[in-house]
């Protein structure tokens, strides 16, 4: 096997491994989102806000690769859920 073929094979192996990790992440997210009563976009938003600590709406939208109006809608829904439940929503599993 030439070094070019070996390099290509290694890249494919890393791509498959990364794909598996992404798939596992989204599967995990699905179970967590239903456990705490938030949608996947809401959970992604919470995780992003948690990891950034301070973030403005435009930055949040950029990080999530969505429009600012969509980000605003997600935040509005999260605020409504918090108000109706009287509980804190925490992206790392503690409510």
Condensed to tens digits (0 to 9), the pLDDT of residues 58-81 reads 999 999 999 999 999 999 999 988
Q: What does the block give as tokens for 90?
A: 């925490």
Residue 95 has pLDDT above 50, yes or no: no
Residue 10: what pLDDT? 86
CB atoms within 10 A of CB 71: 22
- Distance CA(54)–CA(20), nearest Å, equals 31
Q: Identify the helix (H) or strand (E) that includes residue 32.
A: helix 3-36
**Nearest partner of 72 among 60, 89, 63, 83, judged by Cα:** 60
């Amino acid at each position: 096997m030439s070094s070019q073929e070996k390099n290509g094979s290694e890249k494919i192996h890393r791509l498959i491994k990364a794909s598996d990790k992404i798939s596992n992440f989204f599967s995990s997210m699905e179970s967590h989102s239903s456990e705490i009563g938030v949608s996947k976009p809401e959970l992604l938003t919470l995780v992003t806000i948690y990891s950034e600590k301070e973030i403005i709406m435009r930055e949040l939208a950029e990080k999530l690769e969505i429009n600012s109006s969509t980000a605003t809608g997600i935040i509005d829904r999260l605020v409504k859920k918090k108000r109706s439940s009287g509980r804190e929503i925490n992206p790392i599993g503690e409510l």
